[in-house]
């Protein structure tokens, strides 16, 4: 059998990384180094765990491992070879679920962005797809092969699961009314750059209607969805950047929708994701203009770094190296522009995040304290009371009466 052809077909049909384990020790170690982002949440993604399972897998059985993050891999045997598919995911990313997972496992808030970027970089694939492709390929190479049984492993607990998926259609396009389309695009991009959340929907609809009437640059909902979406995403990213939005924030938003578009099953799904991405980018620009007060780039970069590392100990020396200025200059300039010290700003942002968790979760005060970067719970209570005029417990109790923080 042509093993390399079999692997290429697996990878291309599923759009997921696939390999044949010819040297398991080396290959599984490399897999762990590349894909085991948080070992405590992905114990089954270690070379040791996978290596333990391989010798005992049953014939004609496909095993799907799902870690605590919801990231999956699949492995099976065919003609004395063991194949590994993945990693991939089966659900859209949810911030609240990851935050809850980190809090429950006593892990810092600074992991959220890393996990989000990793998770949303993976393809969305469903068990039903994998089952159909493996069955079709194995029977193509060996017509006598029986159907494969699918088993999911959460830890070492097995469960059976199936899902459905349909194909995405495509429509052709033509060329006309270029100037009208260009004007509509220009207005649309201006709405994103200015953070105009009231008019962005109408601007987007106008651009789509002009595209439909001309047939030249139809919305990504009407051309090949992925190609059209790529064009629109690039334009929207540049407009959001022009509006002052951080490129990290832009990348986080658009990459998440890239993943959703890859898994879109209908034109309606594609159109919905495109509209949602445009609206989310515009809202982010709007909030940036309201909250960021158009700070100079040095200050914006500093604030962004602080926000992304709320749960970590941050030293001025390290921070100044990140933004490429001296510690004394950064400290003086930050206070001059914002009216507060870096330490004061960081304290406020940590307490804001804590207040959000107090209002939206049932986590214990000590868990929230650790999550936002305070190892000493008593000190956290003292700092929180200074900012909000209440202890965290008092703040949470008064939420029910609607008077918290007043």
Give me the residue spans of the domains in the chain: 3-159, 178-291, 297-399
The rounded mean pLDDT for the chain is 85
* Greater model confidence, 256 or 159: 256
Q: Does 221 have pLDDT greater than 50?
A: no
**Three-state DSSP string of 209-241:** HHHHHHCCCCCCCCCCHHHHHHHHHHHHHHHHH
Q: For position 160, what pLDDT does the model report?
A: 33
Q: With pLDDT > 70 as the criterion, what percentage of the chain qualifies?
A: 87
Burial 38-50 (b: 16+ CB within 10 A, else e): beebbebbbbebb
Q: Does 21 have pLDDT greater than 50?
A: yes
Q: For position 213, what pLDDT does the model report?
A: 60
Residues whose CB falls within 8 Å of the CB of residue 315, separated by 6 or more in sequence, listed in order: none
Burial 355-389 (b: 16+ CB within 10 A, else e): bebbeebebebbbbbbbbbbeebeebbebbeebbe
Residue 292: asked if its preceding bond is cis (omega within 30°), the reply is no
Tens of pLDDT, residues 61-71: 999 999 999 99
Kindly state the average pLDDT of the residues 150-164.
53
- Answering whether pTM is above 0.75, one says no
Longest pairwise C-alpha distance within the chain: 76
Tens of pLDDT, residues 361-381: 989 999 999 999 999 999 999
Q: For position 177, what pLDDT does the model report?
A: 57
Of 10-19, 82-91, 202-211, which range is least confident?
202-211
Residues whose CB falls within 8 Å of the CB of residue 344, separated by 6 or more in sequence, listed in order: none
Of the candidates 111, 75, 71, the residue with the CA atom closest to the CA atom of residue 95: 111
Q: For position 65, what pLDDT does the model report?
A: 93
Q: For position 19, what pLDDT does the model report?
A: 95
Q: Does 113 have pLDDT greater than 70?
A: yes
Q: For position 342, what pLDDT does the model report?
A: 96
β-pair type (61-66, 149-154): parallel
- 8 Å CB contact between 290 and 248: no
Kindly state the average pLDDT of the residues 126-144.
91
Residues whose CB falls within 8 Å of the CB of residue 98, separated by 6 or more in sequence, listed in order: 69, 112, 115, 116, 119
Kindly state the average pLDDT of the residues 26-39.
93
* Greater model confidence, 147 or 123: 123
Residues whose CB falls within 8 Å of the CB of residue 245, separated by 6 or more in sequence, listed in order: 281, 284, 285, 288
In angstroms, the first-to-last Cα distance of the chain is 72
- Classify domain 297-399 at the CATH superfamily level: Homeodomain-like (1.10.10.60)
């Amino acid at each position: 059998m042509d093993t390399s052809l079999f692997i290429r077909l697996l990878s291309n049909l599923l759009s997921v990384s696939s390999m044949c384990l010819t040297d398991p020790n080396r290959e599984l170690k490399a897999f762990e180094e590349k894909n085991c982002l948080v070992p405590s949440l992905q114990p089954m993604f270690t070379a040791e765990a996978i290596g333990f399972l391989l010798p005992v897998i049953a014939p004609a059985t496909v095993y799907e491992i799902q870690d605590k993050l919801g990231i999956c891999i699949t492995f099976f045997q065919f003609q004395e070879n063991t194949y590994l598919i993945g990693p991939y995911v089966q659900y859209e990313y949810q911030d609240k679920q990851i935050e809850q997972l980190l809090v429950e496992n006593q892990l810092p808030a600074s992991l959220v962005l890393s996990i989000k970027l990793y998770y949303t970089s993976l393809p969305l694939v469903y068990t039903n797809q994998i089952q159909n492709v493996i069955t079709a390929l194995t029977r193509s190479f060996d017509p006598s092969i029986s159907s494969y049984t699918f088993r999911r492993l959460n830890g070492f607990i097995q469960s059976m699961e199936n899902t459905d998926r349909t194909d995405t259609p495509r429509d052709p396009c033509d060329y006309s009314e270029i100037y009208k389309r260009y004007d509509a695009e220009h207005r649309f991009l201006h709405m994103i750059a200015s953070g105009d959340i009231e008019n962005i929907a109408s601007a987007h609809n106008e651009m789509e209607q002009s595209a439909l009437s001309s047939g030249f640059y139809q919305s990504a909902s009407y051309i090949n969805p992925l190609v059209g979406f790529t064009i629109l995403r690039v334009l929207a990213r540049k407009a959001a950047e022009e509006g002052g939005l951080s490129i990290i924030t832009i990348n986080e938003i658009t990459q998440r929708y890239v993943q959703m578009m890859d898994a879109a099953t209908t034109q309606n799904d594609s159109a919905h994701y495109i509209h949602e991405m445009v609206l989310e980018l515009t809202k982010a620009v709007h909030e940036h203009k309201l909250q960021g007060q158009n700070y100079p780039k040095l200050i914006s970069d500093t604030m962004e770094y602080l926000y992304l590392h709320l749960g970590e100990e941050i030293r001025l020396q390290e921070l100044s190296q990140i933004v490429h200025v001296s510690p004394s200059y950064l400290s003086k300039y930050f206070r001059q522009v914002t009216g507060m010290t870096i330490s004061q700003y960081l304290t406020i942002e940590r307490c804001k995040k804590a207040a959000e968790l107090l209002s939206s979760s049932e986590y214990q005060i000590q868990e929230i304290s650790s999550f936002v970067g305070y190892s000493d719970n008593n000190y956290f209570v003292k700092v929180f009371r200074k900012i909000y005029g209440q202890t965290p417990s008092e703040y949470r109790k008064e939420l029910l009466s609607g008077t918290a923080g007043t």
